[in-house]
Amino acid sequence: MNERPADIGDLLRPLAPQVLGVVVRRHGQFDACEDAVQDALLAAAVQWPVEGVPDNPRGWLITVASRRLADQWRSENARRRRESTAAALDGMDAAPAADVDRAGAEDDTLTLLFLCCHPALSPPSQVALTLRAVGGLTTAQIAHAFLVPESTMAQRISRAKRTVAGTEFARPAEAERTERLGAVLHVLYLVFNEGYTATSGPELHRPDLTREAIRLARQVHRLLPDDGEVAGLLALMLTTDARRPARTRPDGALVPLAEQDRSRWDTASISEGAALISATLARAPVGPYQLQAAIAAVHAEAERAEDTDWPQVAALYRVLDVLAPGPVVTLNRAVAVGMVDGPQAGLNLLATLDSDDRIAGLHRVPAVRAHLLEMAGDEAAARGAYLEAARRTTSVPEQRYLEDRAARLPR
């Protein structure tokens, strides 16, 4: 399924948004340009391993994409040949990319991200378009990642492209910039989570979305080094991803944080994430991603589960609950409060969610309740709550984990 050798793919993907940015700027028509750039990427994936990588890979891709556009436009009806097209054709065989400096190209990556995460698109469409236009993944790869047929994903992407086709290729105005950047970060967070969730079975060969999300977050961080939330999201990804080698057993079963073999955690990733978040917290206005990164860093820095600085975790969740209140934050805070002030305190906090419609039916409520009840020694009630959580989850490995926990307890 991965048509490109890994090294060529690694070379191509960062070039994808740079090339697309140049081509869109030069010729307009985001929709057609995006198709042309995909064609150029595919051509490179076929030709470069055989013929060698050209001296100016970006220029090569821009030239090939521009020729594809020209071919496409020439074959179209003359009626549709507008002035812009004629002008575009004139410049078509110009020297490749001599006019593009590196800073300009990187700038386009961010503009493209804003475009792909346009508020007119639903989150699944934002994710799909981002992975294709900015991530340089093929439609087949994206479809495979989300376990849907290629035709479904192709349709979703082409509709998304049409929806944003009329949007000016420019950075959003300052007034809406924070909100738009929020959407970009949310999309990268969704991509990361999609990749981070443990999979077992025939889905093993899904493309590594976690790596892709981190790569894109790094790029955004490089372009906006002063933005605390960008840095926070990158740090959150790095410290979370560090646990990946330890969080599943060879058979795919989930290992809870408290039982993970911490010697298998990726220490380089933890150090990088922890250093980034402490430097960021010291200088930027605090935000939700930074707080989540700080919490992940506290967990990551404990050598053993029992060394975890729970008062610190509880304090960070308290701030998060003020800054970005929501039932999921309260849920996580209940775990930390249970560790600091005892299980009953955690259960009391959890009880405040009983009437919260936003979280009604979510399996994590009984899962956390079960955990706290087990800590409190009420094994029969804990068993019932684990089983309730197991019934409510729609995840196979989570269900297996919750059923295992229930089975450890007496009836």
Sign of the torsion angle spanned by Cα atoms 332, 334, 337, 342: negative
231 binds another protein (CB under 8 A): no
For residue 157, state whether it binds another protein (rule: CB under 8 A): yes
340 binds another protein (CB under 8 A): no
Binding status of residue 212 toward another protein by CB under 8 A: no
Query: Applying CB under 8 A, which of residues 92, 140, 165, 255 lies at the interface with another protein?
Result: 255
Does 245 engage in binding with another protein (CB under 8 A)? no
Least distance between another protein and beta carbon 47 (Å): 31
Does 286 sit near another protein (CB under 8 A)?
no
| Interacting residue with another protein among 25, 67, 159, 215 (CB under 8 A) | 159
**Does position 292 bind another protein by CB under 8 A?**
no
How far apart, in whole angstroms, are the C-alpha atoms of residue 269 and residue 246? Answer: 14
Closest CA to 182 of 113, 131, 277: 113
* The dihedral formed by the CA atoms of 282, 283, 287 and 291, expressed in degrees to the nearest 10: -20
Nearest one of 152, 151, 171, 160 to 127, comparing CA atoms: 160
Closest CB 369 distance from another protein, rounded Å: 12
Distances (CA, A) of 326 to 168, 264, 359, 378: 35, 33, 9, 28
Residues 2, 47, 72, 200: which binds another protein (CB under 8 A)?
Answer: 200
We find the least distance from the C-beta atom of residue 246 to another protein, in angstroms, to be: 9
112, 121 in Cβ contact below 8 A? no
Q: Of 52 and 201, which has the nearer Cβ to another protein?
A: 201
Separation of alpha carbons 8 and 44, rounded Å: 8
The neighbour count for residue 95, using CB atoms within 10 Å, is 8
Q: Which of residues 24-83 bind another protein (CB under 8 A)?
A: none
Packing angle of the helix pair 102-116, 6-27 (nearest 10 deg): 90
- DSSP letter (8 states) at residue 256: -
Q: Looking at 27, 161, 221, 247, which residue binds another protein (CB under 8 A)?
A: 247
Is residue 239 within 8 A of residue 169, CB to CB? The reply is no
Contacting residue, 167, 197, 344, 352, with another protein by CB under 8 A: 197
For another protein, the binding residue among 256, 268, 275, 352 (CB under 8 A) is 256
Distance separating alpha carbons of residues 359 and 164, to the nearest angstrom:
33
Q: Examine residue 189 and tell whether it contacts another protein (CB under 8 A).
A: no
Binder of another protein out of 254, 294, 296, 336 (CB under 8 A): 254
- Determine if 152 is a binding residue for another protein (CB under 8 A): yes
20: exposed, middle or buried (Cβ count in 10 Å: 0-12, 13-18, 19+)? buried
| Residue 84 Cβ vs another protein, minimum distance, rounded to whole Å | 27
Q: At closest approach, how far in Å is the CB of 389 from another protein?
A: 9
Q: In the window 103-132, what residues touch another protein (CB under 8 A)?
A: 122-125, 128
Helix (H) or strand (E) holding 338: helix 327-341
Burial group, residue 273, by CB count within 10 angstroms (0-12, 13-18, 19+) = buried
Nearer to another protein, 38 or 393 (CB): 393
Which pair of structure tokens corresponds to residue 140?
């087949």
Of 71-79, 175-183, 212-220, 250-258, the window that binds another protein (rule: CB under 8 A) is 250-258
Q: Which of 75, 77, 263, 394 binds another protein (CB under 8 A)?
A: 394
Residue (of 195, 142, 141) closest to 4 by Cα position: 141
Cα separation, 89 vs 103, in Å, equals 26
Among 199, 271, 312, 348, binds another protein (CB under 8 A): 199
Asked if 89 interacts with another protein (CB under 8 A), we say no
Comparison of 224 and 257: residue with beta carbon closer to another protein: 257
- State the residues that interact with another protein by CB under 8 A: 122-125, 128, 146-149, 152-157, 159, 193, 196-201, 203, 243, 247-248, 254-257, 260, 364, 367, 371, 393-399, 401
